[in-house]
Amino acid sequence: MASHPHAGDPVFDLHVGGKMEILSTAALTGPEELSLAYTPGVARVCEAIAADPSMTQHYTWVPNTVAVVTDGTAVLGLGDIGPAAAMPVMEGKAVLFKQFGGVDAVPICLDTTDVEEIIETVVRLAPSFGGINLEDISAPRCFEIEARLKERLDIPVFHDDQHGTAVVALAALTNALRLTGRDAATVRVVVQGAGAAGVAVARILLEAGIKDIAVLDRQGVLNSERSDLTEVKAALARDTADHFGRRGTLADVMAGADVYIGVSGGQVPEEIVASMAADAIIFGLANPTPEVHPDLAHKYARVVATGRSDFPNQINNVLAFPGIFRGAFDVHATAITEGMKVAAATALAELVGDALSEEMIIPSPFDPRVPGAVRDAVAAAARADGVARR
């Protein structure tokens, strides 16, 4: 290995030359193989696809390949670091797709933050891919980009920062509610953070039958009394806090709350944590510093989860997105529906089974059953929702 500026640092050593390569599935050992894989043989396959574009599903890698697309504006906890600096993360995401879902993935870092340019670029690239995974694009732009791409494309479009987080959080919460004897219809939930993850978490909780949800941004609870809300936040306010008259600050809504889900990166004072209901459930998902550190959370809560791998109950998106795309690809789905996301969460929750405990409300990313369970549940839900093409 040639020396590099950070030689000897194991993280940098692993990244030398990147984390990916392209491998051929066709052996080219002589002229006969070359004539089959390339000219003249390949022309017959091209003609077949030209006559019937659905043949792409049989004779190219397209139906098993996802584009991992970012503009570098919301990368991990690093923020807007630009497309070049985002590439190591997108490579990592692509490696996770392959390792955990058997899905090929190509990292694409776009040198634009313009909503229209991103949408048009992805639409132009779409014929090369079976699905689009949007990654690390800042809110609120990410909502419009995803919604409009879903309208224009007949392949799955999935913003993992939103929906991957939401699926795994719902799976973990399903088991936490079971463990603490709570019912989805009556539980009181506080979601701190109204960016990509916060909005998606609240939406999937509504889909799963949870009704009493207060979502907060930096100015407080989202409700229709506020005049400063974006269209996305205003719609969420109508579906959440408005129904129960929730308003005010975090302190106002945390008093007596059963569940706290943090996707904000802020810090919750101890006296506010202490005001929650007995046997509370606390998910502090900001990385690397949870909104409520587990040591503090355990003083007042029965079930605690974070986004970190060094504490029990890690809410890790890798539990969801590889299996979701694998299941969608297996049935040639035209979209990823709310039903498919909830099915993925249910499958993840059920894998815990009899091992359910305060320290085990979600499977490990390395549980070999995870990708298959999510895949099968998503494929079945795609058929039930009428978006499967085979």
Helices first, then strands: H and E counts in the chain: 17, 10
Annotated binding-site residue? 64: no
Confidence of residue 2 (pLDDT cuts 50, 70, 90): low
**DSSP E strands: which ranges in 71-154?**
104-109, 131-134
Q: Which of 19, 38, 211, 299 is catalytic?
A: 38
The verdict on residue 126 lying in a domain is yes
pLDDT computed for residue 73 by the predictor? 97
Q: Are 233 and 250 found together in one domain?
A: yes
For residue 74, CA distances in Å to 112, 135, 201, 269, 284 come to 13, 8, 18, 26, 19
pLDDT exceeds 80 at position 103: yes
- The three-state DSSP-derived secondary structure of 76-94 is CCCECCHHHHHHHHHHHHH
User: And the tokens for 28?
Assistant: 């080219």
For residues 200 and 217, give the distance between their C-alpha atoms in angstroms, rounded to a whole number: 14
| Cα 150 to chain centroid, rounded | 16
**Does 93 qualify as catalytic in the annotation?**
yes
Look at residues 161, 183, 206 and tell me which one is the last residue of a structural domain: 161
Q: Which of 19, 59, 93, 299 is catalytic?
A: 93
Q: Are 301 and 367 found together in one domain?
A: yes
103: left (phi over 0), alpha (psi -120 to 50) or beta: beta
Q: Are 212 and 319 found together in one domain?
A: yes
Q: Are 124 and 184 found together in one domain?
A: no
Q: Mean pLDDT over residues 162-187, rounded?
A: 97
Q: Are 204 and 231 found together in one domain?
A: yes
Domain CATH code at residue 190: 3.40.50.720
Crossing angle between the packed helical segments 82-101 and 370-384, to the nearest 10 degrees: 90
Look at residues 161, 195, 214 and tell me which one is the last residue of a structural domain: 161
Annotated binding-site residue? 287: yes
Note the pLDDT tens digit of each residue in 252-281: 999 999 999 999 988 999 999 999 999 999
DSSP assignment of 177-212, as one string? HHHHT--TTT-EEEEE--SHHHHHHHHHHHHTT--E
**CB contact set of 171 (below 8 Å; sequence gap of 6+):** 319, 344, 345, 346, 347, 348, 349, 362
Q: What domain range is 82 assigned to?
A: 23-161
pLDDT computed for residue 266 by the predictor? 87
The verdict on residue 15 lying in a domain is no
Q: Are 222 and 337 found together in one domain?
A: yes
The verdict on residue 12 lying in a domain is no
Annotated binding-site residue? 91: no
pLDDT exceeds 80 at position 1: no
Peptide bond into 40 cis (omega under 30): yes
**Does 341 qualify as catalytic in the annotation?**
no
For residues 319 and 163, give the distance between their C-alpha atoms in angstroms, rounded to a whole number: 12
Annotated binding-site residue? 313: no
Q: Give the global pTM.
A: 0.94
User: And the tokens for 113?
Assistant: 């933050």
240 neighbors 207 (Cβ within 8 angstroms) = no
Q: Are 298 and 367 found together in one domain?
A: yes
pLDDT computed for residue 367 by the predictor? 95
For residues 331 and 349, give the distance between their C-alpha atoms in angstroms, rounded to a whole number: 23
Q: Are 153 and 294 found together in one domain?
A: no
pLDDT exceeds 70 at position 379: yes
Q: Are 152 and 175 found together in one domain?
A: no
Q: Mean pLDDT over residues 212-231, rounded?
A: 96
Q: Are 139 and 259 found together in one domain?
A: no
273 neighbors 282 (Cβ within 8 angstroms) = yes
Annotated binding-site residue? 133: no
